[in-house]
Amino acid sequence: MALLEVEDLTVKFYTEEGVVTAVDDLSFRIKRGEKFGVVGESGAGKSVTALSVMRLIEEPGRIESGTVRFDGEDLMEMSESEVRDVRGNDIAMIFQDAQTALNPVYTVGEQIAEAIRHHLDYGDAAARDRAIRLLDDVGIPEPEARYDDYPHEFSGGMQQRVVIAMALSCDPDLLIADEPTTALDVTIEAKILDRLERLAEEYDTAIQLITHDLGVIAEMCDRVMVMYAGRAVEKATVEEMYYDPKHPYTVGLMSAIPRIGDRQDRLQTIPGTMPDLVEVPSGCSFHPRCPFAEEECTRKQPPLVDPETGEGVGLSDRAAACLAYTGDLDNELDYEVEVRGRAEQPDDGQPDPRVRRPDSEPVRTDSDPVGLDTDLLDQNDDGEDDAGGLSDG
């Protein structure tokens, strides 16, 4: 039995503009101690998924259907007070922006200790000791003195460490980290991720890592779920996603990563933006941006299937939602993964897979107002060294 099993989760927001289906029929599972990545652009439903797992969705949002089994028990069936016993205790959350996640008027120590007192029935002194130990664990120097400091007396990176300490305070089994390093600069990010990974080992905690940064996923995660417009479009191990992505959206994300040494003027982008979730495109919601889209994609919503067999997969760990795997498309998905680094720098140890896609126009449909900037693949790859090559004229 997996630690967390989310099945058929649907979350809707009843806004004035209309009903937004933020999470649509989503299923995934996280095993004990596993590091599970959730990737996607802003608005893909990653954070809503995270909040739903803790049943923290607020008005006007509503969890419409689905089960969230944690350790075999369905959180959706629990009473509010039973869920509260799980929150912070068994499942804890690390927020994106530590500055806003910390209450400005209480000391950081108090904000860590209050959960300890509440869940673990510690006395004041014992909770304080434990909180100080946690501050030490997350790498805050002089934790004893810093306990009584207020959030504004910490730097951004230190605040994020406090938030991590807060999340770890009751030794949770699952840590949901919602873009934990997005607000930080890159050097701090590396340190924090490193620390998070070590602590997860130490505390034997599973992590659901939400991010839009594929590099972070590669560094930390075992398995990945790629989300688009509230749905899972691909699930894979990190290796599979990097070396053998199956969904055109994943392919797009992969090719959008700039590489050091690339001589190209423009960053690769996926044309267009995430659709407005009030009016999701018909059929496959990615079709207006997909270079491989055909007529059928505008009509039929692709199920999440095993890309090898085309069979439905339920909670399985390898799946993609593209009609290419159900035999509904006339053409094949035409892209290749080029692994650089190995050949050129054999000692590097860090292979650099690159996904290449043909420069084709996406299928235009009525609901497609975008799709103009399709320069997907236009870099010179002749290996000629012409000092940067920012422009050739």
Q: Which residues bind other proteins (CB under 8 A)?
A: 51, 54, 56, 58, 81, 84-89, 92-93, 95, 97, 100-106, 114-115, 118-119, 150, 152, 163, 166, 169
Least distance from other proteins to the Cβ atom of residue 115, Å? 4
What is the DSSP code (8-state) at residue 4?
E
Whichever of 91 and 333 has its CB closer to other proteins, that residue is 91
Least distance from other proteins to the Cβ atom of residue 327, Å? 44
Would you tell me the crossing angle of helices 108-120 and 124-137 to the nearest 10 degrees? 120
Whichever of 150 and 243 has its CB closer to other proteins, that residue is 150
Q: Where are the beta strands (DSSP E) in the chain?
A: 4-15, 18-30, 35-39, 61-70, 73-74, 91-94, 174-178, 206-211, 223-228, 231-237, 319-320, 336-340, 352-356
Other CB atoms closer than 10 Å to residue 380's CB: what's the count? 13
Give me the phi and psi of 271, to 5 degrees please: -60, 150
Measured CA to CA, the distance from residue 367 to residue 203 in angstroms comes to 48
Whichever of 29 and 119 has its CB closer to other proteins, that residue is 119
Other CB atoms closer than 10 Å to residue 283's CB: what's the count? 20
Least distance from other proteins to the Cβ atom of residue 105, Å? 5
Least distance from other proteins to the Cβ atom of residue 391, Å? 43
Straight-line distance from the first to the last Cα atom of the chain, in angstroms, rounded to the nearest whole number: 61
Whichever of 133 and 259 has its CB closer to other proteins, that residue is 133
The Cα-based distances of 243 to 95, 239, 254 in angstroms read 30, 6, 10
Contacts of 197 (CB under 8 A, 6+ apart): 35, 220
Chain Cα centroid distance, residue 92:
16
Whichever of 130 and 235 has its CB closer to other proteins, that residue is 130
Least distance from other proteins to the Cβ atom of residue 82, Å? 11
Whichever of 11 and 293 has its CB closer to other proteins, that residue is 11
Whichever of 124 and 382 has its CB closer to other proteins, that residue is 124
Least distance from other proteins to the Cβ atom of residue 111, Å? 8
Whether residue 164 contacts residue 196, with contact meaning beta carbons closer than 8 Å, is answered with yes
Least distance from other proteins to the Cβ atom of residue 41, Å? 21
